[in-house]
Structure 1
Amino acid sequence: MIEIGTAAEEAVAGSESEDGGTEPLRTVCWRGRGIAFTPLDPDDAELIHGWLSDPVIAREVGTWPRSLSAVRGRVESDHEDGDRDDFLVLLPDGTPVGHIALTEQNLIDGSAAITLMLDPGHRGQGHGTAAVDALVDLGFGELPLHRIEAETHTTNSAARGALAGAGFVQEGVRRSTCLHRGRRYDLGMHALLRDEWEALDRPRSWDLPADTD
């Protein structure tokens, strides 16, 4: 489990709730370009359930419809899993726009995997690549990782674009791997190695000012 010092933590403004109130402040534990991470909490299960129920995400991710209680159970289980770290992706005003996780952490082999889900209403604005950039900075900057990988449907152009923008290389395709709505889908296998990350010409998360867009 990644431990981030309190020196990097700060509160961000809450977002307006449906009843006109303001959601509680969230603690920022990591930053990217125009986004920030806050640890995923079991109380975020309803938000995750809403995203998983969206038809765009259901089509591109291939999710199976699940009850809120089932999603809450999964979030709680993941929260206790020491081999993964889950975060909400926040805008500067505290609006949650996605869920990202560093999973399958194996510090002996130096490997891990990334999963990412964005609110469809906030796609196409660069938040996906910014979030992936920030998470690989966290993985390579704070852990002795050598390889971070990700997989996505070969038809999911948004996810493939976010990964390519973050420097990931498609290494291969697992053909006809999953079934969704009566159709077989291929999965593209993508990865970023430490030396490739080191060669990227961009500021790292710890070099970004808090108000960076």
Structure 2
Amino acid sequence: MIRLLGSGLISPPAVRLDGPRCYIRPPLPRDWREWADLRAESRAFLTPWEPTWPADALTRSSFTRRLRRQAQEWRDDEGYSFLAFDRPTDTMVGGLGLSNVRRGVAQMATLGYWAGRPYARRGYVSAATRLVLDFAFGQLGLHRVEAACLPTNEASRGLLEKVGFTHEGYARGYLRIDGTWRDHVLYAMLREEWRD
């Protein structure tokens, strides 16, 4: 269970959110090998939709730096990263998170996600997204969660619409994906629209 401590949260390793099909939890140092293997196996599948991978993207030291940054984001209430696992087998299937958390009058965050190639289009990411939305609107008390994807990414668009996001617009040169500034379609969900 997450504990609120003054102005911040957390002990990320203690957080686990369970659904019928999968569960999500923050990454731990022991996840490096499984994470690196899944990302390596899925590289050609993922790179058209992601920022350019640095040369050391899958190394243990890079993963350790990533974990330190993510732990700091949890402590500072700036971002919440999770890995997703198949519930019966404890097999890692992908990852997702909330970034760019804005408080004050905004109370919003940006959703991002990925699935390993063997687990894509099998319902894992939509199930994990529902868990993250419960966390965002419940535990974090956010009012709005935004997401963006490439216009050609039919799987991602379908996932967002299936979970209940509303298409809100089109942003030119929105994110640098695979080395190129790319247009994105924009989606969002408000707390009052969320129903699991």
Do Structure 1 and Structure 2 share a fold, with TM-score over 0.5?
yes
Distance 1:72 1:157, change over 3 A: farther
| Cα offset, 1:121, TM superposition | 0.6
Q: Percent identity?
A: 26
Distance 1:164 1:66, change over 3 A: farther
Work out which of the two has the higher radius of gyration on C-alpha atoms and give 1 or 2.
Answer: 1
Deviates more, 1:98-107 or 1:187-196: 98-107
| Residues 28 and 36 in structure 1, CA contact (< 8 A), matched pair in contact too | no
Q: 2:21 is matched with which residue: 34, 38, 46?
A: 34
Point out where structure 2 has 5 or more consecutive residues left out of the alignment: 5-12
RMSD across aligned positions (CA): 2.6
Are residues 1:78 and 2:70 paired? yes
| Cα offset, 1:49, TM superposition | 4.0
Correspondence list, 1:39-50, <5 A: 39-50=26-37
Q: Residue in 1 aligned with 2:128?
A: 131
Q: 2:97 is matched with which residue: 94, 101, 105?
A: 101
| Cα offset, 1:178, TM superposition | 4.4
Distance 1:151 1:42, change over 3 A: farther
Distance 1:112 1:184, change over 3 A: closer
TM-score (norm 2): 0.78
Q: Residue in 1 aligned with 2:10?
A: none
Distance 1:72 1:51, change over 3 A: farther
Correspondence list, 1:56-67, <5 A: 56-67=45-56
Deviates more, 1:150-159 or 1:88-97: 150-159
| Cα offset, 1:110, TM superposition | 1.3
Alignment length, in residue pairs?
178
User: Which letter maps to 1:72?
Assistant: T
